Chain A
């Protein structure tokens, strides 16, 4: 029997959950603490079985949004729907969810197995089922050997596995993760990200809301990413798409590094989906639509998409003066000046390294560049 088959075996809540559905919808949800609004009306939905990562700077309202789904805070306005049902007024214990938090929050006086059994006991599951589920859940996270330990006898990474097992044991409709890996060191964090991805492959119906500070975690795990800024949804979209075509400056800079150069739109290019714009005296072509002629926009190019050699006939060409060059083993970082702006370039191969003060030509493909607005939310 495979792990996923075991997970889909006869169970208390799974059938009910499947019937209830597991998509999450925020419908104009706003949250205020003592009168000050920390989450502005938020409307977005997470499809059943999807992993949505919520990222954003500290204080942007990520945890608050998650707590509203959990039922720990009551929205000042708006509704939260899970599986199409309005749960806004349901207490947390009737929502059929589970959560994993940064500090694990294991029950210190309970053994690992008792921690994992807690939710099933609370939901009144039969004893055989509990034993079976505890065993399955601990096996999934590779903690079977530690069933009779106390949390204080485990490392941080092991505690987090137990916290995940405890959450999975109740077969939640939706799993809420609030920076689950941020207390772990970089190496363990990477392997845990892979484990969560594997876990989700085994539980394809499980909807996951994953809050993180770490954009690489978000890009690795998430189907879609929502970027929050000052309690507001700044951008949302499929992970790759959002990285390649961020809609605004904030999204571009939050998901990796970006060169943002001020340009003026000239006209829509012959090829559909592209526009022509002027960068100083240079004419460039970038992807984008709906930009009126004469509008001021930002040209967004990722540092690794700029090259020193012309690779295609249609490539854009811009001139810049090299200010700094840093060789870092596999990569070379170049900082160049173009007019008033700074251009950052990451090169993997540089047969003839240029010198400071050199006037260089950089190339980039129109499909690797896009025009975005300075500010804006969705």
Chain B
């Protein structure tokens, strides 16, 4: 009786012979791979339908592309560093120096993951925009004729918004890692003479390193591809790769250029994604 039960699943597998994976794989390919191939193909073919590597190369050699690449890298890096610093600070406080209501705060921060990214940007406009609350208070309070706070319409505005939106993506794995740190290690360390900063540096951070790398690389991945926030802030001269692709494709109808840039963007994303996977694997194992 028990033999039959034990054998049943194996028999079922043998009968299907592995072919069951074919249909889902086909759907996956259709959904994900095919568009990528189309984009790759479009990047190499001009409006007339002929192979035109020179045009693609020209786009990738242009000042606009280079600027966008640099902007993207700078903003993504700065935002990620901001997210990691803020996430670490918040995480350390929430996990190791909790105050009444800390759990609620962690949950509220967590909920930010669920919100659309541009919502925060919209709120920022109300707060720090030229007609926002802060500037309104300052102009009437100090009797100025120009709104004094204008950082929002610059790369700094984008970075601030991205840090706000993406910090939970760092915080969440960090809190998970912190909760696994053995409290008696911390206590033993402090009795041996280590002050809190040394304990953070030598006991807590090494244990949380995989989580920091995982959260940071996820953050980097998301900020490299961020579109909504950059578009919403609409700062002059702050053009990132996704924004450049959008303006090439939609505004200039230059599909080949858009696709060529998209290929670079995809390659960048995949590289960051493998970094994230590697870190996540270390975190899991």
Contacts and interface: CB of A to CB of B under 8 A. Distances in A.
A119 B193 contact: yes
A109 interface: yes
B184 A97 contact: no
Given A92-B190, A93-B192, A122-B189, 13 more contacts: A91-B190, A93-B190, A93-B195, A95-B191, A103-B184, A105-B184, A107-B206, A109-B206, A118-B202, A119-B193, A119-B194, A123-B192, A166-B188
B146 interface: no
Interface string B191-216: 11111001000110011000000000
A34 B195 CA distance: 26
Contact of A99 (B182, B191, B198): B191
A166 B191 contact: no
A20 to B, nearest CB: 15
Interface centre among B190, B192, B206 (most CB of A within 10 A): B192
Nearest to A95: B191
Interface string A171-184: 00000100000000
Interface in A224-244: none
B182 A105 contact: yes
B187 interface: yes
A119 B207 contact: no
A98 B187 contact: no
A70 B187 contact: yes
A106 B198 CA distance: 16
A170 interface: yes
Interface string A111-123: 0000000110011
A347 interface: no
B185 interface: yes
A165 to B, nearest CB: 12
B184 A118 contact: no
A123 B198 CA distance: 11
For chain A, which range describes its interface: under 10, 10 to 19, 20 to 34, or 35 or more residues?
A: 20 to 34
Interface in A125-167: 166-167
Contact of B185 (A72, A97, A105, A119): A105
Given A103-B184, A107-B202, A118 B189 contact: yes
Nearest to B192: A119
Contacts of A71: 191
A170 B193 CA distance: 9
Nearest to B189: A118
29 contacts: A70-B191, A71-B191, A72-B187, A91-B190, A92-B187, A92-B190, A93-B191, A93-B192, A93-B193, A93-B194, A98-B188, A99-B188, A105-B182, A105-B184, A105-B185, A105-B187, A105-B188, A106-B185, A107-B185, A107-B202, A107-B206, A118-B194, A118-B202, A119-B192, A119-B194, A122-B192, A122-B193, A166-B188, A170-B192
A205 B211 CA distance: 44
Contacts of A70: 187, 191
A117 B195 CA distance: 15
Contact of B187 (A99, A119, A166, A167): A99
Contacts of B195: 93, 122
A103 to B, nearest CB: 6
Contacts of B193: 93, 119, 122-123, 170
A108 interface: yes
Interface centre among A97, A106, A118, A167 (most CB of B within 10 A): A118
A109 B193 CA distance: 19
Interface centre among B182, B191, B194, B198 (most CB of A within 10 A): B191
Given A101-B184, A103-B184, A166 B192 contact: yes
Contact of B207 (A93, A97, A108): A108
Contacts of A106: 185
A106 B207 CA distance: 12
Closest 9 CB pairs of A and B: A119-B192, A122-B193, A122-B194, A105-B184, A123-B193, A92-B190, A109-B206, A105-B185, A92-B191
Contacts of A92: 187, 190-191
Nearest to A103: B184
B78 to A, nearest CB: 29
A108 B198 CA distance: 16
Contacts of A110: 202
Nearest to B195: A93
A291 B193 CA distance: 51
Given A70-B187, A92-B187, A118 B182 contact: no
